């Protein structure tokens, strides 16, 4: 029935089962609400680098998490509650859409709201077992009370459909429903479009994003080299060796410094098992119980007498 109803400035591609081949094909070369936050640098789960590698088919797509699976199962419950709170609307399940003119801009909303046959708003349904820790605040009209990555998602959807507002409904850890209203912001919408267009251009020109300290970037680097050549070693450049050792041993070493150093060394190593510097063993790649590689510093890393790069230059 949704296919016969108006969709504002959006065009319906179809109604596809989540995770199906048609569902994946519709996303190829497009940016959806689940990826725009990562592309804009706002997601705790994805980075530009990890999304780029997935869209370039260099690594497999991330598997659905338990939290995501739970959210999909509970979505119909949240929808029924929302529909009961708004008898003035017909709350319809939605399909997969793109903007009528910007074909790269994709949306797969949880629901669309109609009044007298006209599309008036959209709705997104969330569940969170740690609402306070995730950044959810008091329900209402203040967008800052919704985590920034979900705000990016619904602003993206509003831009696709040309709608003035979108509802976000949360089922929290106390089994309480919260409803938030996000208004359209043309400035933020333009920022998100610019980020998406720059990202897609980097895919077209095969310009891989730079490494960063995001955990998803580290995970993507490891996925790029899933095997370990037990007979292979690499010699680290001095500056990279210093960065890695200092990050792991520095008294003021922050978690992000360690993450960034791990990512750079893992990327430099490729499939090699060991990373060496000046005859010392610095790090090695091992397989976890799940048979996926990870990087760990050598047990004797604290005894490596490595000078700072500026000392070498002097």
Tokens of 141: 């009209």
Phi then psi for 169, rounded to 5 degrees? -115, 125
Residue corresponding to tokens 């230059």: 313
Phi then psi for 95, rounded to 5 degrees? -105, -145
- List beta partners, residue 206: none
Write the pLDDT tens digit of every residue in 197-256: 999 999 999 999 999 999 999 999 999 999 999 999 999 999 999 889 888 886 455 778
- Please state, in angstroms and rounded to a whole number, the distance separating the CA atoms of residues 172 and 21: 32
pTM for this model (two decimals): 0.88
Phi then psi for 76, rounded to 5 degrees? -65, -35
The three-class DSSP label of residue 124 is strand
Domain spans, the chain? 2-204, 227-313
Q: Do 262 and 254 contact (CB within 8 A), yes or no?
A: no
Write the pLDDT tens digit of every residue in 55-102: 999 998 887 777 777 777 888 899 999 999 999 999 999 999 999 999
Residue corresponding to tokens 């790649």: 285
The correct answer on CATH 3.40.190.10 for the domain covering 2-204 is no
Q: In 167-181, which positions are buried (b, 16+ CB within 10 angstroms) versus exposed (e)?
A: bbbbbbeeeeebebb
| pLDDT for the residue numbered 131 | 78
* pLDDT reading at 314 higher than 80: no
Burial class (CB in 10 A: 0-12, 13-18, 19+), 73: exposed
Tokens of 216: 């998803």
Q: Do 225 and 269 contact (CB within 8 A), yes or no?
A: yes
* pLDDT reading at 132 higher than 50: yes
Phi then psi for 153, rounded to 5 degrees? -60, -50
- Please state, in angstroms and rounded to a whole number, the distance separating the CA atoms of residues 78 and 127: 9
The residues, any chain, with a CB within 8 Å of residue 293's CB and separated by 6 or more, are 222, 225, 226, 227, 228, 285, 286, 287
């Amino acid at each position: 029935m949704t296919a016969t109803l108006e969709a504002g400035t959006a065009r319906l591609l179809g109604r596809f089962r989540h995770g199906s081949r048609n569902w994946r094909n519709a996303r190829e070369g497009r940016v959806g609400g689940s990826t725009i936050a990562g592309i804009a640098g706002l997601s705790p789960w994805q980075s530009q680098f990890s999304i780029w590698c997935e869209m370039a088919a260099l690594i497999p797509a991330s598997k659905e998490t338990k939290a995501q699976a739970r959210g999909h199962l509970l979505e119909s419950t949240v929808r029924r509650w929302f529909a009961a709170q708004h008898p003035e609307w017909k709350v319809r399940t939605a399909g997969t859409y793109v903007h009528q003119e910007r074909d790269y801009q994709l949306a797969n909303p949880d629901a669309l709201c109609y009044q007298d046959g006209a599309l008036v708003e959209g709705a997104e349904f969330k569940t969170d077992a740690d609402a306070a820790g995730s950044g959810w605040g008091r329900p209402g009209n203040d967008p800052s009370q919704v985590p920034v990555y979900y705000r990016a998602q619904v602003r993206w959807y509003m831009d696709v459909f040309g709608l003035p507002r979108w509802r976000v409904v949360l089922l929290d850890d106390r089994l309480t429903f919260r409803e938030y209203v996000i208004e359209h912001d043309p400035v933020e919408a333009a920022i998100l479009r610019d980020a998406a267009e720059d990202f897609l251009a980097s895919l077209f020109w095969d310009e891989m994003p730079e490494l960063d300290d995001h955990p998803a970037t580290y995970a993507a680097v490891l996925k790029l080299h899933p095997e370990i050549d037990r007979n292979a070693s690499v010699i680290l450049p001095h500056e990279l060796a210093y960065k890695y050792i200092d990050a792991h041993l520095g008294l003021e070493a922050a978690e992000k410094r360690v993450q960034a150093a791990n990512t750079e060394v893992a990327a430099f190593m490729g499939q090699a098992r060991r990373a060496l510097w000046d005859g010392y063993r610095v790090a090695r790649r091992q397989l976890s119980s799940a048979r996926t590689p990870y990087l760990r510093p050598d047990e004797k890393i604290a005894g490596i007498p490595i000078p700072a790069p500026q000392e070498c230059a002097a």
